[in-house]
């Protein structure tokens, strides 16, 4: 077996959809084609949106597609001690600080209105304001969040598919949250710590997460953690060009599965939209030997109603 370790990391905040299916298949093919290992990590820290019943649903959907993994599935919520250690390390090194700003405070501090879905930049209001988190809580009367002290400068990301990308984290988002007020670790910190803990060497995910990579790179550097190779692939969009959402139940894998759809048709669709020529029905394992990242189109996949209907009506 090779030294490549990839991961499937669904979040149980809703039903998985066809976009998830394609990305998870690509991640699985990329690693299995080189004889590598796959770990399954359930990212269940997004309380209260993380639903216990969705944990089983995620695993059923992945197994239905023909995906497997090495070792038992892991819940992020069972490894809080690792996140606490990382947070304390950042505090000790003065790379994190307590913040009592509300979201409203941050929005009101902006010099110009934000456009669309663009993330609101944190202006650094609490940088140097409190000596410790305990001091922040005593002075404000509420538990503080913890923010990472972003290092100035441009981060250069070398992506195995997307190529070279640059991000100025301080200019674009500012100091970002690494722990919420309840001390639950935020996404950026949790994935960095868990990828290192699980020995993940390759992260293949949707290109909507490419901007997050610069933040994760800074955290890896601050915590002296290894850096995986990154592969950010185009998303699946609906007919109108919108990103698929978990609330779109008509596109969920659970509905397709319980409705009797043939998972091999979904695997074949994912393969064909990824530059792999396969029959109308294919298993995930059979596609593995044909996988080549170089054949993956660089544009998003458009999911039209006719394709959805064909996948829904495909029968074994």
Query: 27-38: per-residue pLDDT in tens?
Result: 999 999 999 999
Range(s) of the chain covered by CATH 3.40.50.620: 5-77+191-313
User: Where would I find the beta strands (DSSP E) of 65-136?
Assistant: 74-75, 96-99
Contact indicator for 309, 265 with CB cutoff of 8 Å: no
**Cβ atoms 122, 173 nearer than 8 A:** yes
pLDDT in tens, 210-256: 999 999 999 999 999 999 999 999 999 998 899 988 765 558 999 99
Query: Taking the CB of residue 275, how many other CB atoms lie within 10 A of it?
Result: 14
Of 235, 165, 219, 227, which Cα lies nearest the Cα of 202? 227
Mean pLDDT of 57-84: 97
Mean pLDDT across the chain:
93
Query: End-to-end alpha-carbon separation of the chain, Å?
Result: 33
pLDDT number for residue 183 = 87
Q: How confident is the model at residue 105 (pLDDT cuts 50, 70, 90)?
A: confident
Per the model's pLDDT, the better-predicted residue between 111 and 90 turns out to be: 90
Helix (H) or strand (E) holding 188: helix 187-197
- Give residue 185's pLDDT band: very low, low, confident or very high (50, 70, 90): very high
Q: Which CATH architecture has domain 80-189?
A: Alpha-Beta Complex (3.90)
How many CB atoms are located within 10 Å of the residue 157 CB?
Answer: 18
Whether the pLDDT of residue 8 is over 60: the answer is: yes
Q: Which two tokens stand for residue 147?
A: 């923010």
Q: How many CB atoms lie within 10 A of CB 49?
A: 13
- Edge to edge, the sheet with strand 177-179 lists 96-99, 145-148, 177-179
Please answer whether residues 301 and 269 qualify as being in contact, where contact means their C-beta atoms are separated by less than 8 angstroms: no
Cα–Cα dist 177/187, whole Å: 9
**Above 90 in pLDDT, residue 161?**
yes
Residues 256, 265: contact at Cβ < 8 Å? no
Residue 204 pLDDT? 99
What is the mean pLDDT of the segment spanning 30-57? 89
Q: Which pLDDT band holds residue 117 (cuts at 50, 70, 90)?
A: low
Confidence of residue 64 (pLDDT cuts 50, 70, 90): very high
Spatial separation of the C-alpha atoms in residues 99 and 101, rounded to whole Å: 6
CA–CA distance, 117 with 273 (Å, rounded to integer): 27
310-to-60, 178, 237 alpha-carbon distances in Å? 22, 43, 17
pLDDT tier, 47 (very low <50, low <70, confident <90, very high otherwise): low
Q: What are phi and psi of 185, to 5 degrees?
A: -65, 140
**pLDDT computed for residue 251 by the predictor:** 80
Question: Quick check: 179 pLDDT over 60?
Answer: yes
The arithmetic mean of pLDDT across residues 110-114, rounded, is: 58
Taking 3-state DSSP, the helix, strand and coil percentages for the chain, each rounded to the nearest 5, stand at 40, 15, 45
Distance of CA 223 to CAs 88, 91, 137, 207, 234, Å?
Answer: 10, 11, 25, 25, 30
pLDDT in tens, 118-135: 689 999 999 999 999 999
Mean pLDDT of 164-176: 98
Please report the pLDDT score of residue 110 as a whole number. 73
Please tell me the predicted confidence (pLDDT) of residue 46.
81
CATH classification code of 5-77+191-313: 3.40.50.620
């Amino acid at each position: 077996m090779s030294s490549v370790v990839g991961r499937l990391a669904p979040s149980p905040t809703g039903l998985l959809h066809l976009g998830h299916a394609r990305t998870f298949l690509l991640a699985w093919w990329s690693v299995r084609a080189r004889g590598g290992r796959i770990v399954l990590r359930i990212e269940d820290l997004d309380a209260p949106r993380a639903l216990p019943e969705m944990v089983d649903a995620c695993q059923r959907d992945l197994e239905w597609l023909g995906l497997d993994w090495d070792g038992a599935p892991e819940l992020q919520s069972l490894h809080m001690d690792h996140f606490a250690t990382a947070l304390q390390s950042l505090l000790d090194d003065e790379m994190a600080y307590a913040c009592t700003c509300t979201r409203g405070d941050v929005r009101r501090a902006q010099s110009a209105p934000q456009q669309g879905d663009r993330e609101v930049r944190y202006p650094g209001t609490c940088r140097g304001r409190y000596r410790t988190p305990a001091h922040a809580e005593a002075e404000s009367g509420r538990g503080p969040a913890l923010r990472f002290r972003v290092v100035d400068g441009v981060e250069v990301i070398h992506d195995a598919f997307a190529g070279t990308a640059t991000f100025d984290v301080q200019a674009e988002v500012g100091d970002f949250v690494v722990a919420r007020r309840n001390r639950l670790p935020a996404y950026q910190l949790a994935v960095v710590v868990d990828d290192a803990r699980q020995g993940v060497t390759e992260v293949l995910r949707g290109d909507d997460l490419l901007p997050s990579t610069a933040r994760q790179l800074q955290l890896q550097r601050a915590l002296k953690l290894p850096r995986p190779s990154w592969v950010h692939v185009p998303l699946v969009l609906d007919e109108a060009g919108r990103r698929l959402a978990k609330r779109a139940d008509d596109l969920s894998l659970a509905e397709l599965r319980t409705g009797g759809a043939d998972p091999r048709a979904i695997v074949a669709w994912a393969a064909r939209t990824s530059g792999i020529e396969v029959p109308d029905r294919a298993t995930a394992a059979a596609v593995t030997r044909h996988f080549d990242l170089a054949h993956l189109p660089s544009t998003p996949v458009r999911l039209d109603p006719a394709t959805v209907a064909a996948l829904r009506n495909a029968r074994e």
